[in-house]
Structure 1
Amino acid sequence: MRLGIALPIDFGTDPETDVLSDGARAAEASGFDSVWFFDSIGRGRMALDPLMGAAVAAAATERIEVGLGILQVPLRHPVELANRVLTAQVVCGPRLLLGVGSGSTRGDFEAVGKRFEDRMTLLRDGLATMKRLWDGETVDGVNLAPSSAVLGGPSILIGSWAGPRWIASAANDYDGWIASAFFSGYNTLKEGLDHYRAAGGKRAIVTNISLDLNAPTEFLRDTENAFHLRCAPPDAAVRLQRLADAGFDDAVVVYRGGGPPDLAAIRALLP
């Protein structure tokens, strides 16, 4: 199983400095396989644009994959978003992993004047439009004229909960499935993965795994609605291996500690 980490990582610097490029280079040097960017807006904290972050990380590194988990397609106009994704793909090349989803936070939709109840339709229609544009088609008089290097667009992975509907689509129509550990315990994640494999799915990634190797002992209690690594390193290693044994191809951790992280120690959790 490959191991990724979410950016930005808090190195004691502000987001407007070199925190993205420094974090990406540090993750690559520590042996991580990927860095990831999340997508939110208007939640009372500064949230960096994930596509811009991905481009910065890719430009600062050579090997590491750069993922978006999850880009909320319904929040943007599909033509504008398709063009932005192509721009990121030019910078990132084949290292770009485009995780997309409907979004699940009502406030994000209210911030941009979109109806939360329309998110599934907006996702389905938006992806269809974007894929046609990436294939070089003219859609409602618009042609983005993608160059040969980006024709067809990047790899698309569907981010969803463990319900069978979108998991089947991820397996049959796209390049992978991204599960979230934020509100899902191990049993739920394993159930979703089993559905995905049964439908013929290939790459399966679990993201949003909170990590703090110095967390208080009360965090050791398992819950049914979250899978986390807020525990001592030996326990964290066992939990990560459990995901690997379940059959996930990638795990993505989100550092939640109180000071600068020991990236080498985190990477060593998964040999």
Structure 2
Amino acid sequence: MTTLGMVFRPQLPPERLRDVVREAEAAGLAELWLWEDCFLESGIATAAAALAWSERLRVGVGLLPVPLRNAAVTTMEAATLHRLFPGRVMLGVGHGVQDWMGQVGARAESPLTLLREHLDAMRALLAGERVTTEGRYVRLDDVALDWPPATAPAVYAGARGPRSVRLTGEAADGTILDASTPPDGVRGARRLIDEGREAAGRTDRPHPVVVYLHAATGPGARARLDAELRREGNAQVPGLGVAGGAEDVAKAVLRLAEAGADTVVLQPTADEPDPEGYVRFVTDQVAPLVR
């Protein structure tokens, strides 16, 4: 069965998060996803708050940009969240938007190398290993977590280009695809992920794929979605996004599921006028149709 989630867009002020989390918890939303977009809101701080304000809601961060982060610090934060809220945390890492990385002086010459080194270090540390490595970007000298999670958690990676998507199959435990990925793109990503898993000898374990879906509903939905796609330069991509009622959105979710998505995360427009109402739309109207 496809898991259905939604994004709390960081274009909303942080103080709006509590009400959205409480609505998600009360409505039975399966997953709430957060972003660490520059220069809006911290992924770890918002995740910790959302987890503390809820009891059963699963919270994902997709994604943490690795050029901004030391691998040991990211892993410490991940381990702390997993120990505080076991079974409810999903963290993803990725390249980040290169223009933003350049703005803060953190742009890597080889984003692929950086992401691979970061993933290798995170997964080893979270598994309780003691790590010494001298990579191009990640350097650790006899580092081990004092408080690793009881069970090594999955580390997701976000990707868009073919080499990065293949890398997620090799070095991550799951893949996050952004909302610029139509169903055919999900199929292609699945093939690349499986190539990476095969090359790394990792076909003995599941590799979940999370896909964001532009989904607008309510008054002005079509206009809001079209404006967002234009801003992102994706207005001409066929099969991208959906505007309309629950049946329209559910059909779009199922198309992504048939293409290989294990989790579809509905992404409201940045100017969604009623985020709490959007939660109820997802749980009360779309979710029953997806089931």
Q: TM-score with structure 2 length normalisation?
A: 0.76
Q: Matched residues in 2 for 1:177 and 1:124: separation?
A: 13
Identity of aligned residues (%): 24
2:232 match: none
Q: Matched residues in 2 for 1:85 and 1:25: separation?
A: 23
Q: Counterpart of 1:244 in structure 2: which amino acid? A: A
Structure 1 residue 269 corresponds to structure 2 residue 269? no
* Distance of aligned partners of 1:9 and 1:121 in 2 relative to their CA distance in 1, 3 Å threshold: closer
Q: CA deviation at 1:136?
A: 3.7
Is the contact made by 1:213 and 1:232 (CA closer than 8 Å) also made in structure 2?
yes
Structure 1 residue 203 corresponds to structure 2 residue 216? no
Q: Matched residues in 2 for 1:197 and 1:127: separation?
A: 18
Q: CA deviation at 1:210?
A: 2.2
Q: Which shows bigger deviation, 60-69 or 109-118?
A: 109-118
Instruction: Give the counterpart of 2:248 among 218, 231, 235.
Output: 235
Q: Matched residues in 2 for 1:225 and 1:79: separation?
A: 41
- The DSSP-based 3-state class of the residue aligned with 2:286 is coil
1:36 match: 33
**For structure 2, which runs of at least 5 residues remain unmatched after alignment?**
133-139, 198-202, 230-234
Q: Matched residues in 2 for 1:90 and 1:234: separation?
A: 39
* Distance of aligned partners of 1:216 and 1:177 in 2 relative to their CA distance in 1, 3 Å threshold: closer
Q: CA deviation at 1:213?
A: 0.6
Q: CA deviation at 1:146?
A: 2.9
Q: CA deviation at 1:89?
A: 2.1
Structure 1 residue 245 corresponds to structure 2 residue 258? yes
Structure 1 residue 59 corresponds to structure 2 residue 52? yes
Instruction: Give the counterpart of 2:76 among 83, 86, 101.
Output: 83
Q: Matched residues in 1 for 2:42 and 2:104: separation?
A: 14
- The DSSP-based 3-state class of the residue aligned with 2:273 is coil
Number of corresponding residues: 258
String of CA shifts for 1:9-49, please: whole Å, max 9, x gaps: 88xx842x3x323222211222221111112223xxxx111
**Aligned-residue CA RMSD in angstroms?**
2.9
Structure 1 residue 175 corresponds to structure 2 residue 168? no
- The DSSP-based 3-state class of the residue aligned with 1:206 is strand
Is the contact made by 2:119 and 2:172 (CA closer than 8 Å) also made in structure 1?
no
Structure 1 residue 124 corresponds to structure 2 residue 128? no
Q: Counterpart of 1:270 in structure 2: which amino acid? A: A
Q: Matched residues in 1 for 2:42 and 2:86: separation?
A: 19
Q: Matched residues in 2 for 1:216 and 1:24: separation?
A: 23
Q: How does 1:187-226 map to 2 (within 5 A)?
A: 187-196=184-193, 200=203, 202-207=207-212, 209-214=213-218, 215-217=220-222, 223-224=236-237
Q: CA deviation at 1:206?
A: 0.3
- The DSSP-based 3-state class of the residue aligned with 2:83 is helix
Ranges of 4+ aligned residues in structure 1 off by more than 6 Å: none
Q: Matched residues in 1 for 2:243 and 2:8: separation?
A: 18
String of CA shifts for 1:153-206, please: whole Å, max 9, x gaps: 53111211262x44444335432121112x222321232234445754531110
Q: CA deviation at 1:76?
A: 1.2
Q: Matched residues in 1 for 2:118 and 2:238: separation?
A: 30
Is the contact made by 2:155 and 2:173 (CA closer than 8 Å) also made in structure 1?
yes
- The DSSP-based 3-state class of the residue aligned with 2:266 is strand
Q: Matched residues in 2 for 1:14 and 1:177: separation?
A: 28
Q: CA deviation at 1:223?
A: 4.1
Is the contact made by 2:36 and 2:64 (CA closer than 8 Å) also made in structure 1?
yes
- The DSSP-based 3-state class of the residue aligned with 2:125 is helix
Q: Matched residues in 2 for 1:34 and 1:176: separation?
A: 16
Q: Counterpart of 1:193 in structure 2: which amino acid? A: R
Q: Matched residues in 2 for 1:189 and 1:117: separation?
A: 28
String of CA shifts for 1:203-239, please: whole Å, max 9, x gaps: 11102x2222134546589842672123333322221
Q: Counterpart of 2:158 in structure 1: which amino acid? A: G
Structure 1 residue 114 corresponds to structure 2 residue 106? yes
Is the contact made by 2:83 and 2:150 (CA closer than 8 Å) also made in structure 1?
no
Q: Counterpart of 1:55 in structure 2: which amino acid? A: A
- The DSSP-based 3-state class of the residue aligned with 2:49 is helix
**For structure 1, which runs of at least 5 residues remain unmatched after alignment?**
none
